[in-house]
Structure 1
Amino acid sequence: MNLTEELLAAKLVAIVRGITREQAKTAGAGLVAGGIRFMEVTMNTDKALDIIGDWRSRYQGKAYVGAGTVLNVDMAREAVDAGAQFLISPNVDTAVISFAIERGIDIWPGAMTPTEIVTAYTAGAEIIKLFPMASLGLGYLREIRAPLNHIPIMATGGVTLENMSDYFAAGASAVGLGSALMPKGALISGDVEAIQRQVSKFVRGAVTTEVTP
């Protein structure tokens, strides 16, 4: 099973943005303990490369660590050199896609329009991140999936415990989650168990939810 296939089975990517390297220890421990298999550190987070390296050494064999907000080939190269196992971006850059494929790294670029989605998929990306989902809404996802049901979509933005099943019912193959996984104050207080409990709820929900073909 390759990384993309594992994501389609796990259905969840945890997105971490704007935290400190110390807070990343709490976040990583809680995410992994709760059952998350894919953890993304956005490249506009201070010390992002250090966090990626920390997580790779600490959670090898337990979770996959990737870089998000990868905007160009230079950022992609830095992330991969730091240990990123997958790359995620908010946009379609075919040069970044080509770089990732050449390095044997899975890349899941962000797209909004049908043209962007098909362009990214044709360039070699196996999953396309539909972004920004919080603004586009579930109706847009359903409409996109009608003609493009052969392209796996990871919906990112606006996912909660209450509506996650709606995302899958609308056609998402996976979802990206950020602040919803982190109970308020847990990072500041170092409460790993609070994060673990919250994450476990999402993981259980994803496992028991059917994905609409």
Structure 2
Amino acid sequence: MTNVIEQLAQHRIVPVIALDKVSQAAPLAEALVEGGLPVAEVTFRTAAAAESIKIMAERGDMIVGAGTVLTIDQAKEAVDNGATFLISPGINPKVVKYCVDNNIIITPGISNPTDIELALDLGLKVVKFFPAEAVGGLPLLKAVAAPYNMMNFIPTGGINANNVTKYLEFDKVLACGGSWMVAPSLYEAGDFSKVVELTKEAVAVAASVK
């Protein structure tokens, strides 16, 4: 299962997707793959999440995870539909323990040293830094990460094409989560070409960071 984390680290960017319509799942997945970024974090913010995860996962050529996982039931539903990693906005010890006990990859959200120590105590080595820009951005991340050289981070929240490079340059950042290349406004008319274009640009940016 750690191979999934390694794959996320190789791609460096995790598209964060909120789908209102299940019918959008297949073409959006196709656009991401065409753009060279076969990764998706489908958030449980909408009723279409579980079925969308299933549709994307059944392709067999994508790393598909579930975001905004708040409960054990959601964790089970996500995995049952093909999610290979889970992400949550905060750190719920019950949910994390369930995932760890069942060999399910989960990266809960943290924003301070207390959260990091709780994550370490639960056996985690990778966490989400959220909401990245709102809580202080890269300066805060570097400050809170300094005492914990065993922990790596996936910053998410307010990250876009203009600031993703500076995050990726920090050696404790495995990948960044962002929605700028998969924003619903880009494909609400049914045209996914802009998603392909922005995804290709994001891939190029990630590849440029040593």
Q: Structure 2-normalised TM-score? A: 0.91
Task: Tell me the SS of whatever aligns to 2:188.
Answer: helix
Q: Quick check: 1:98 aligned with 2:83?
A: no
* Counterpart-to-counterpart distance in 2, 1:109 and 1:187: 29
* Counterpart-to-counterpart distance in 1, 2:108 and 2:183: 28
| The structure with more helix, counted as a fraction of residues | 1
**For residues 40-60 of structure 1, what are the alpha-carbon distances to aligned partners after superposition, in whole Å with 9 as ceiling and x for unaligned?**
111121221111111111x21
Q: Quick check: 1:200 aligned with 2:194?
A: no
**For residues 34-82 of structure 1, what are the alpha-carbon distances to aligned partners after superposition, in whole Å with 9 as ceiling and x for unaligned?**
122321111121221111111111x21x211111111111111111112
In the alignment, which residue of structure 2 is the partner of 1:75? 74
- Amino acid in the other structure paired with 2:15: A
**For residues 117-175 of structure 1, what are the alpha-carbon distances to aligned partners after superposition, in whole Å with 9 as ceiling and x for unaligned?**
22113312331000011202221112122222321111001222221111123442210
Contact 1:4 1:126 in 2 (8 A): no
CA RMSD after TM alignment? 1.8
In the alignment, which residue of structure 1 is the partner of 2:107? 108
In the alignment, which residue of structure 2 is the partner of 1:64? 63
- Deviating above 6 A after TM superposition, structure 1's stretches of 4 or more consecutive aligned residues are none
Q: Following TM superposition, by how much is the alpha carbon of 1:184 offset from its aligned partner in structure 2, in angstroms?
A: 7.0
Structure 1 unaligned blocks of 5 or more: none
What number of residue pairs does the alignment pair up?
207
Q: Following TM superposition, by how much is the alpha carbon of 1:83 offset from its aligned partner in structure 2, in angstroms?
A: 1.5
Percent sequence identity over aligned pairs? 32
Contact 1:14 1:176 in 2 (8 A): yes
- Amino acid in the other structure paired with 2:92: D
- Indicate how the Cα distance of structure 1 residues 53 and 189 shifts in structure 2: closer, same or farther if over 3 A, else same: same
User: Where in structure 2 are the equivalents of 1:1-213 lying within 5 Å?
Assistant: 2-57=3-58, 59-60=59-60, 62-136=61-135, 137-170=137-170, 171-178=172-179, 180-182=180-182, 185-210=185-210
Structure 2 unaligned blocks of 5 or more: none
